[in-house]
Amino acid sequence: MSDEKIIIQVDPDLEDLIPGFLENRKLDVEKLRAELESNNFINLQSIGHSIKGVGGGYGFDLMSELGAAIESAAKEQNSELAREKVDQLYNYLQRVVVEYA
């Protein structure tokens, strides 16, 4: 996986919200991994759906796409694909850099 930074431009009005928002998504990754370990596809689907819904609103479109992919993989009970998408989400969160413009 790449370690190249991903720059996201966000409205300066959201500057107070973004650090907590991103921290919560990192917590979501931990929850997703725990649900994968217990094969809890219902919770995986729910968390994926939530990530799909919140990412785009702040300009994190790839985050929303990965959330949708996690939700879809959970619906299909495809743990291998779900794990791959959770890993991609983790990698994305490690690389994202926010610029307020």
Mean pLDDT across 63-83? 98
Q: How confident is the model at residue 57 (pLDDT cuts 50, 70, 90)?
A: confident
Domain residue extents for the chain: 1-12+40-101
The per-residue pLDDT of the chain, averaged, comes to 96
What pLDDT shows up at residue 2?
72
Q: 77 pLDDT exceeds 70?
A: yes
Task: Tell me the pLDDT tens digit for each residue of 1-28.
Answer: 678 999 999 999 999 999 999 999 999 9
Q: How far is CA 95 from CA 24, 32, 56, in A?
A: 16, 19, 17
